[in-house]
Amino acid sequence: MSYFDAASSAPLHPVARQALLAALDEGWADPARLYREGRRARLLLDAAREAAAEAVGCRPDELVFTPSGTRAVHSGVAGALAGRRRVGAHLVVSAVEHSSVLHAAGAHEAAGGTVTEVGVGRSGAVAAADFAAALREDTALACLQSANHEVGTLQPVAEVAGACRAAGVPLLVDAAQSLAWGPVEAPWSVLAASAHKWGGPAGVGLLAVRKGVRFAPQGPADERESGRAPGFENLPAVVAAAASLRAVRAEAAEQAARLRALVDRIRTRVPELVADVEVVGDPLERLPHLVTFSCLYVDGEALLHGLDREGFSVSSGSSCTSSTLTPSHVLRAMGVLSEGNVRVSLPTTATGDDVERFLAVLPGVVAGVRERLGAPVAAAPREAAAPPPVVDPAPSLVVDARGRRCPIPVIELAKVIGDVPVGGTVTVLADDEAARLDVPAWCGMRGQEYVGEEPAEGGVAYTVRRTA
């Protein structure tokens, strides 16, 4: 059994477990109390703060512990926006931020603020110039992740931070995915992170706010954590989080090199082993341990279950794996294929043998799903399209895939494209949100022309012109 979803939550690091056990005995009392148990708890809390601050690259009094990375983001965004209320109520975020940032932006908008989402290229990265162009006179805050959580692409944080500094706008960096690998090397103003991403326990986030940044914590506060994170400190978990951050940093360079080689193997071999696969995310400027690919004509949920049965735990941005039945906002912003999407994120315990086993089972699992769905035989459409159609092909066809979920609309499209002449069109009627992303993506992969979409009764009409 191989757990390949470290970007979602990493198993507890042995050092974290050890520190947690020790702190359960030594650090259960209230660090605000004056008696010995309280003083001991205070010493542990102070030491954890110093260790975490050193790893983040800030002063201990700039850093507070929050109950989760999500809470760190929510508090960080709200506090920074409120601190610059006089400047304006404009917030800039990238389109591929973690949902916690987008939810905070949504709450800001609901409260009357304005939000600009900066788009990304097909690799998932913002262009620093685009981000800089979104900054305005009334921009109170800008948010950019250090690395994308779904496709691993690193963002140009240093350039964006420079542009923000030039514009006098504070930059909040969501470093949840990258902090295990190293500090954020850029002049950030606010930084958020989450311990269970680096092998620390659940229940601990970090919020760092540089001295001099205007920051007004929102909501009821108390005297704990500099008034920025109310409630009794989750001290044993905080101690474990700090200890494991230090431990993963000590082995980060070695692990990064090792996992990067394993990921490279997946990046190279999957397209060789499985037809009609799109590996997404930047091939070089990326997290070392994470790779994402999408498989044409594959149902993401069936793929996850198939891999789970073979002992592999991965996640997916496909629409069928989300409760809202929409593809992940990251894949949508990138404009890449969303069906049959798989994210592999290797924990530090993953071995080359694990990866070889994964590569050995993947083709069979994909083929099984495709067969059950009646998908066109791999690469067949392109070959079938080569000879001219046999008799009197209709100049245009309409396929009704309303009520059918991803990847059926694209499979139906692929089945009939050979039935129209070159220059003819196929229109797919679909009400599945993934079709908006996957029909154009299919066109790109198949060399067909995507004409566009129009509203249609009970759905949307996506039209494709056969050019190959």
What SS3 state is found at 5? strand
Give 45 or 161: the residue with its C-beta nearer to a copy of itself. Answer: 45
| Least separation in angstroms between CB 365 and a copy of itself | 13
- Least separation in angstroms between residue 162's CB and a copy of itself is 28
Rule CB under 8 A: is residue 20 a binding residue for a copy of itself? yes
Directed axis angle between helix 14-26 and helix 235-250, to 10°? 150
Figure out which of the listed residues 170, 203, 306, 381 binds a copy of itself, where binding follows CB under 8 A. Answer: 203
C-beta of 256: minimal distance to a copy of itself in Å?
22
Residue closer to a copy of itself (CB basis): 128 or 342: 342
Interacting residue with a copy of itself among 42, 49, 71, 405 (CB under 8 A): 71
- State the greatest distance between any 2 C-alpha atoms of the chain, in Å, as a whole number: 92
Strand pairing class (312-313; 2-3): parallel
- Note whether 112 binds a copy of itself by CB under 8 A: no
> Please, which residue, 33 or 468, has the CB nearer to a copy of itself?
33
How far is the C-alpha of 314 from the C-alpha of 321, rounded, in Å?
12
164 a catalytic residue: no
Asked if 223 interacts with a copy of itself (CB under 8 A), we say yes
User: Applying CB under 8 A, what is the total number of residues that bind a copy of itself?
Assistant: 64
> Using N-to-C axis directions, what is the helix angle for 252-273 and 235-250, rounded to 10°?
80
H-type alpha helices, 31-119: 36-56, 69-83, 99-110
196 vs 258, beta carbon nearer a copy of itself? 196
Rounded alpha-carbon distances, angstroms, from residue 39 to 36, 45, 127, 239? 5, 10, 49, 15
Looking at 98-106, 148-156, 180-188, 289-297, which segment touches a copy of itself (CB under 8 A)? Answer: 98-106
| Nearer to a copy of itself (CB atom), residue 20 or residue 135 | 20
Per CB under 8 A, 100 contacts a copy of itself:
yes
Count of C-beta atoms within a 10 Å radius of residue 1? 8
What is the closest distance, in whole angstroms, from the C-beta atom of residue 194 to a copy of itself in the complex?
7
Segment contacting a copy of itself by CB under 8 A, of 305-313, 325-333, 420-428, 429-437: 305-313
Distinct helix (H) and strand (E) counts, the chain: 14, 16
* Residues 135/92, Cβ–Cβ less than 8 Å: yes
Closest approach of a copy of itself to the CB of residue 406, in Å: 16
From the list 18, 37, 187, 451, which residue makes contact with a copy of itself (rule: CB under 8 A)?
37
- Using CA atoms of 129, 80, 214, 168 in order, give the dihedral in degrees to the nearest 10: 10
Q: List the one residue from 14, 106, 168, 423 that touches a copy of itself (CB under 8 A).
A: 106
The CA distance from 202 to 194, in Å, is 8
Residue whose entry in the numeric block shows the structure tokens 């990921």 = 263
Residue 1 binding a copy of itself, by CB under 8 A: yes
Closest CA to 248 of 178, 351, 353, 151: 178
338 in contact with a copy of itself (CB under 8 A) = no
Q: Which span (71-79, 244-252, 273-281, 449-457) binds a copy of itself, by CB under 8 A? A: 71-79
Alpha-carbon Rg for the chain in angstroms:
25
Residue 11 CB, shortest distance to a copy of itself, in Å, is 5
Q: What is the DSSP string of 316-357?
A: ---GGGSTT-S--HHHHHHT---TTEEEEE--TT--HHHHHH
Specify the stretch interacting with a copy of itself by CB under 8 A; choose among 6-14, 334-342, 377-385, 420-428: 6-14
Q: Is 305 in the site for a copy of itself (CB under 8 A)?
A: yes
Which one-letter amino acid corresponds to residue 220? P
Which of 86, 112, 212, 220 is close enough to bind a copy of itself by CB under 8 A? 220
Distance between CA atoms of residues 315 and 294, nearest Å = 12
> 58, 164, 295, 320: which one is catalytic?
320
Tokens (6 digits) for 409: 């609309």
Q: What are the backbone dihedrals phi and psi of residue 8, each rounded to the nearest 5 degrees, phi first?
A: -85, -55
Positions touching a copy of itself (CB under 8 A) are 1, 3, 5, 8-12, 17, 20-21, 24, 28-30, 33-38, 67-71, 74, 78, 99-100, 103-104, 106-107, 194, 196, 201-203, 205, 219-223, 230-237, 301, 304-305, 307-308, 312-315, 321, 323
Annotated active-site positions, please?
320
